[in-house]
Amino acid sequence: MSVEASSHFQNMNLNDAVLMLKRICQISKSNLQEALVASGMSSAEVVLATEKLLNRRNKMLVDFEANEELKKSCFLSTNTKLNYDPKKDGLISITTAYGTKVTAPDRGKTISNGSLK
């Protein structure tokens, strides 16, 4: 619940929420990573944020009691105890629509047991 009341959400019903969830499911893992790299995050931040966003989407599928077809097409397994070191695992790179390769920087950040270090 947000701090301020919003008429948009107050008038929302379960069908509206499920419709929005279907739209959220159209966002692929690659789309998420592309947006996060474009935001200027480090590779470790991109990896962790991607996992967290996918995990939240998975929880929404359960919370809104999505049908099995939507769950099968949308659910992606996540790792809440993720470990990632860009020096060992490599930097996250994406290719833009123009064919340009963009790599998220290292910045000395790692992920240990699901937490950014």
For 39-98, write each residue's pLDDT tens digit.
999 999 999 999 999 999 999 999 988 889 999 999 999 999 999 999 999 999 999 989
pLDDT band of residue 99 (cuts 50, 70, 90) is very high
Q: In terms of pLDDT, which residue wins out, 7 or 69?
A: 69
The whole-number average pLDDT for the span 17-27 is 93
In the block, which residue shows the tokens 């279907």? 22
Residues in the chain: 117
Asked if 57 contacts 49 with a C-beta cutoff of 8 angstroms, the reply is no
List residues bridging with 103 in a β-sheet. Answer: 93
Q: Count CB atoms within 10 A of the CB of residue 8.
A: 8
Kindly give, in sequence order, each residue whose CB lies less than 8 Å from that of residue 114, ignoring residues fewer than 6 positions away.
Answer: 48, 51, 79, 80, 81, 82
